[in-house]
Structure 1
Amino acid sequence: MAKQNKNDAPDGSGANHASSSIDDLLLAALARGDESGDTGRYLITFKDGAGEDGLNSLRTQGLRVADARDFNDQAVAFDSLGDADTVLFPEIGVALVGGDAAQARSMGAAADIAADSPIESIDAERFVFAEALYNNYLRGTAQVQELDGFGPATAESPTGEYLRGFLRAAELIAKELGHAPNGGSQQELDLQEEIMVLGATWGLTACKVPSSVRSAAGIRIAVLDTGMDLGHPDFAGRPIVGATFVGQPVQDLHGHGTHCIGTACGPKAPAGATPRYGIGYRSSVYSGKVLSNSGSGSTASVLAGMNWAIANRCQVISMSLGGPGGPQPAYTAAGQAALNNGLLMIAAAGNPGAGAPAGAPANSPTIMSVASLDTNLAPSSYSPTGKIDIAAPGRDVFSAWPRPTRYKTISGTSMAAPHVAGCAALWAESAANLRGLALWRKLLATARRLPYPVVRVGAGLVQAP
């Protein structure tokens, strides 16, 4: 298909085509003064098993349809959609429709849907951000800006931050054994020596990763985020499959995606004195760039990544991103499609603070929602309340970062989700029947119970096999 001509109105009001870039959508929203979080496009979710009928119904309405199956490995390139009005994501039974095309056919969110229609719902598409940026978009507070490492730089080095978190974790473990932090008992000293010998981050130690014999060999982990530093030395020789859904190279110029991939898939023994920070060190890495280098995306870019990860049968799909609103039908359908194919979607619950609900897509019933824990294994102050399935280390998490920095310590539920994804991959390697819903149940059943409400920590702290 030929690329679309740039004929949008000067104010950006027409920048709501299926092929519009994230930047164009954001600029158009600003131009029209729209603070709703809507992009101006629409998502059509089809009834279970009605995807082909839905595709035909779109065509009968005169819509020009692009199909993800027309792209290699279903990696949709939005800037190559040409004059298509809509793009179908067949693995999840969802279609994106440009705003003008939808409204011309009365297909807005308020449209009446016939009982015999293959369509389940029509919803406004929304913007999606890396978790901290989403909270900045909503609130713009300095406290939130410091989460996930997007705030002002500090004089303290990443190594210093890691050590601070490590020492707090060591003190906690000692307290749990009934010793004072500075008690110096032989049992405490032996334990601290064991931790130092293992040389792992406090998060991996809390999840019992160093003692696990599993490596996630044969398991595909998809991380849908800002991409990855494909030349990071800690991943030299590792095959990495990348795809972009935001019109930018997979190469990560932001950092968030590299950090999350580092936790879920990083090496067992990084060079030099660098502590072990990665869990599934023999996993196959699938990096889906669904957020731009500015950390922004849309529901459609995330859905395109989900569709791609399912088409590639990635057993574990990790997402540290969020957007406004309650559970969204398209995300719920994607999560169900993953489970139907023996795959598991895991998402960060968001950083709105205690008392506020989890964001989308984590709030979907078919996607595992992950809360953040501090080094004392208490819920982090920024972690939400409500639909929480499990918890993991999220405060002061040391992991990979794009060169030349190489490593960074940051905080957020974004950092907790890849801990769960990595542990899920270890469990998936341990038994061929631990797939999809069975894997979900195993993670909950083996989690370490914590003395906090289920609405804050779910089943508890994720544990490796």
Structure 2
Amino acid sequence: MANDPMDGQHAFGERPSRSDGSVMGQDSEYTGRYVVLFDPGGQESGIEALRSSAGIASVERVHGTGTGNVAELLERPDVSVLFEDLGAAVVEVRPEQRHALVTTAEAEPSIIAAEPERMVHALPITVSQQAPTAFFPAFRSDEDVVTRHTRAEIAAGQGPYWSEDKWTWGLQAIRAHLSHLTGRGVRISVLDTGVDTDHPDFAGRIEATESFVPGESVEDGNGHGTHCIGTAAGPAGPRQGPRYGVAPEARILAAKVLGNAGSGTDGQILAGMAWAVSHGARVISMSLGASVRPGDLFPQTYEILARRALERGTVIVAAAGNESRRPQDIRPVGRPANCPSILAVAALDRAIAPTFFSNRAINGQGGEINIAAPGWQVRSAAPGGGYQPLNGTSMATPHVAGVVALLAQAHPGASAAELVAALKSGAFPLQQPAVDVGAGLLQAP
């Protein structure tokens, strides 16, 4: 933390804008703010330490299910936002005070971690029939993550023929179509680009929604969020086509943390996590991430928040990332999926083999692949009441979230750790190494 990436950026209260209206620092990877985690019993002393040493802005507190105007608060340069339930804050600090904040965080016992807040970006890619469609929100990416490939790779990804008259191939691969469980009464929260609240397949199923994106409603003007929600919790009898949802009677909690243009911040994701936990989500699905380099450590902020969520009964699953170009170029699991307390999900094609873009367990603790699920030509809901196929570890992740909901229905008294153990132990072993597929192919109970 001594080498502060935020040094020399914009003046306090003068955060420059992106073309899509979002804000950023001089390096577009960062916003100019910090995410600070406190000891659960030391929030007040930690805040006071930052006030006295780093001159942080006035603090607005968010507690429980009441979110109020959190999206607007997160955009105000004169306010720091404290999420009391999770003991985390998004902190505004003047550029000249950043060193003092870092020094205070290292010395103050009530402050566990302080990391620069990063921008988040969605990365939609639509390509021709000769190329797959990929969609993987990423904190930072300068290249198309799936479009550089060969016809041979595409052909290999088709695998054997799967009849999809009644069920998508993904539901068949994980045996969800054979399960008597439906996720009834279990809450699944998807943190993404929102949801098409008028989609007929979700009628009566959306329990709560919230947008943490300033100036935008929870309505999905992008498509990625609606698709992920459909995979996790689409209905048993969709309006059109085969069944595509894993947990057709689960309750949907939709949090918009990425805007229609696909951008957001760590603070918006943090807000979504706090909201989901306070609403009783048994699983949080995050099909978003950032590429990391070999040897990079996992982010402390996400790891600690994930542990706190687990303690409150919530499992968090996240996409492993799509940066690889197998077999020549294979990249490590991205963040925040590389946190030890977050389940990292790899993508499988129709041949039940890792897709050529799916990342691998290369880094150390936390960088493992935990489980693998269908992530190729996954059909699910689209805004406007329709449907579309998409590819990516983003598409594999909500399959896992749906199975966690089935397990929670079968074992209503189970802890989050017990649900994770059951998920892994129930996986079907594959011939590929664990660094690529973890425990194996996801299986519904």
- Interval containing the TM-score (normalised by the shorter chain): 0.7 to 0.9
Partner of 2:256: 289
Partner of 1:396: 377
Q: 1:229 to 1:114 in 2, by over 3 A?
A: closer
Rg: which structure is higher?
1
1:56-108 deviation per Cα after TM superposition (whole angstroms, max 9, x unaligned): 43455553101112x853365231465643111222222111242x6436345
Partner of 2:401: 421
Partner of 2:237: 269
Partner of 1:67: 61
Amino acid at match of 1:368: L
Amino acid at match of 2:309: A
Partner of 2:218: 250
Distance 2:304 2:14 in 1: 23
Query: Where does 1:41-52 land on structure 2 (aligned, <5 Å)?
Result: 41-47=33-39, 49-52=41-44
> 2:352 aligned to 362, 377, 386, which one?
377
Distance 1:462 1:24 in 2: 39
Amino acid at match of 1:57: A
Partner of 1:153: none
Amino acid at match of 1:399: S
Amino acid at match of 1:340: E
Describe the SS at the equivalent of 1:240.
Answer: strand
1:135-160 deviation per Cα after TM superposition (whole angstroms, max 9, x unaligned): 6952324x53589xxxxxxxxxxxxx
Partner of 1:330: 301
Distance 1:215 1:266 in 2: 10
Root mean square deviation, CA, Å: 3.0
Distance 1:295 1:223 in 2: 15
Distance 2:337 2:141 in 1: 17
**Equivalences, count:** 404
Describe the SS at the equivalent of 1:106.
Answer: helix
| Pair 1:217 & 2:184 matched | yes
Amino acid at match of 2:90: L
Aligned-residue offset at 1:127 = 1.4
> 1:86 aligned to 80, 83, 89, which one?
80
1:225-256 deviation per Cα after TM superposition (whole angstroms, max 9, x unaligned): 00000001111232331001111100000000
Distance 1:444 1:16 in 2: 47
1:397-441 deviation per Cα after TM superposition (whole angstroms, max 9, x unaligned): 00000016x100010000000000001100100012333111011
TM-score using structure 1 length: 0.79
CA contact (8 A) 1:317 1:345 kept: yes
Q: 1:85 to 1:307 in 2, by over 3 A?
A: same
TM-score using structure 2 length: 0.83
Distance 2:288 2:403 in 1: 19
Q: 1:259 to 1:293 in 2, by over 3 A?
A: same
Partner of 2:5: none
Unaligned runs of 5+ in 2: 1-8, 124-134, 362-367
Q: 1:245 to 1:397 in 2, by over 3 A?
A: same
Describe the SS at the equivalent of 1:321.
Answer: coil
Q: 1:290 to 1:456 in 2, by over 3 A?
A: same
Amino acid at match of 1:261: I
CA contact (8 A) 1:75 1:244 kept: no
Aligned-residue offset at 1:113 = 3.9
Identity of aligned residues (%): 38
Q: 1:127 to 1:443 in 2, by over 3 A?
A: same
Partner of 1:351: 322
Q: 1:320 to 1:83 in 2, by over 3 A?
A: closer
Aligned-residue offset at 1:457 = 0.6
| Pair 1:450 & 2:423 matched | no
